[in-house]
Structures are given as C-alpha cells and as structure tokens.
Amino acid sequence: IKAEDVLVASTGITGIPLPMDRVRNGIKEIKLQRDSGHDLTKAIMTTDTKPKEIAVRVDVEGSKFTIAGVAKGAGMIHPNLATMLCFIATDALINADFLQSSLQDAVDTSFNMISIDGDTSPSDCAFLLANGLAGNKIISFGNGGAFQEALDEVCTYLAKSIARDGEGATKLIEVTVEGAIKQAEARQAVRTIVSSPLVKAAIHGNDPNWGRIVAALGRSGIELIEDKLDVYLNDTCVMKQGCSAPFNKEEMKIALSNSDSVIIKVCLKLGEAKATAWGCDLSEEYVTINSAYST
C-alpha cells in the first residue's frame, strides 16, 4: 500500500501530538484481509462499550452494491465536531461529486444530529470510499436516490449507536420536533432539548418532568406559540395545548424504568418543518469516567 493512499485519523487527549513515526512504520505493515471488518470495528474503540458496524446491500435495476460502515465515539459528541471516527466503504460505481454530496447530506441528518455531552473535539471525521467494482451503471445526481437512501440508513444507524453507547448512558433519547416554520428552527429545537443536562438527568431518573423539555424548547430561540404546544413521552401526551395533560405519573415512571430508549415528540403546529436528534441520559458514571480519563 502506498503511503499517499492512506488516510490518518485519530482521537485522544488534546495537545498530545500523534506518534507519526509509528504511523509511518505501521503503513508498511498493513495487510488487507477480506474478513477483518469486525476487527477494525473493535480496534478503533476507546471508551466505547460496544462495536458499531453495519452493512447494507442494495439491488438497483439488476445490479447490486454494498455500503458498509464502522464508527467509534462515546464522549465529547455534539453536532459538527466530535470525538468520532466513521469509515464507510462501498463497491458502487459512483460519480465523485455525487459521492461527496450524498455524504454531506447523510451526515447532516445523522452525525450532526447527535449529542452525548454537549462537548466537541477538533478530531472528528467521516470517510466514504468507493472502489467502483460492483459493475453497476454509474450513479450520479440523476439516479442516486437508492444510494442516498442506503447511505442515510448506514449513517443514521451508526449515529444512533454512538448516542446509545454514550459514556455512562443507560438510555437512548430520541427527540422529534414537528410543525416548525423553518427546518433550521426544528433542528435548533431538537438539538437544544436532546443536549439539555436537566432533560438528560430526568430521563436517567425515569422522571416524566415535561417542564424541563419545554424549558429547553423555550431557550432554543425558535418561534413558538405556547398554547399550541403538545408534548409526548413514549406516545403518552404529557402536555396538551400548553397545559399539563392528565397521565398516570407512577405508571409512566415504571414504563420509563423498563425501557432502554425514550422518545420525546414536540408538536409546534406552526408549519411543516420537522427534525429528529438523538442523545442519551446523564448518569453518575459519566462523571466517574471523565474525572479519571487522562490519569
């Protein structure tokens, strides 16, 4: 393998230079193997507790291609910059400009919509490599719908896997805001809610405290009308038209405690825009992990 064909990616403690001599020497030792994808997934894990990998097979007009991806990340995860590495490969024959465009679109609705702790890092990356060996008709902007859909599936799965495996996490949180006037406002709202420490702590404690959700929504800065708001926790309406809705709090606490995922839905009823983000609860274990990280 030529050195110029190797992409270098790393996470670690900020301020400590990469051991480039070891990297250069390691390039000489690389041996490609067809069955070592799972080994790659495990090799890039740091504070991750679970490997994150997926492969999707697509059949379009009699031609088949595969998109496979692996990722790592469990802390310092927040939209746009995170301690996250993602490597995706496909054998599809595809136009380079469309490949870049499709990756940007997929990342925008997946990795840029997760938050574990609200902190970021300067070392994240998402690589998408294509070797064109599938023998399919070349994919480009005019016929790339199936490829985009499959890539979205791969990236969303990996993004949710990262959120679910957040440091100290016990629950995946999914937040959807619908009925916003603008897409940008829907995205801002879900990002604010899913990264709220008070919302995350309430979910960890199985507390159906919808006031924390609404408080986060209010400080997101989006346009809203209070007496139009509906809020749902796992399909149970907890706020209706801006007021508390009747529900059994004790039954809700039990339901939350028995679930490893929580779905929050906010209905603004102002427009057609919507967005979804993913995160996790905030536990004492998160503090334990990060208070001793560099020692």
**Which residues are identified as catalytic?**
83
CA distance 269 to 209: 22
Q: Which amino acid is at 232?
A: Y
Q: Is 101 helix (H, G, I), strand (E, B) or coil?
A: helix
Euclidean distance between CA atoms 95 and 6, whole angstroms:
21
Distance between CA atoms of residues 192 and 195, nearest Å: 5
Token representation of residue 119? 């902190």
Checking phi first, is residue 90 left (phi over 0); if not, alpha (psi -120 to 50) or beta? beta
Let me know: does 260 contact 221? Beta carbons within 8 Å. Answer: no
CA distance 235 to 253: 14
* DSSP annotation of 113: G
At 110 the three-state DSSP class reads coil
Answer whether 126's CB lies under 8 Å from 108's CB: no
Closest CA to 37 of 88, 111, 106: 88
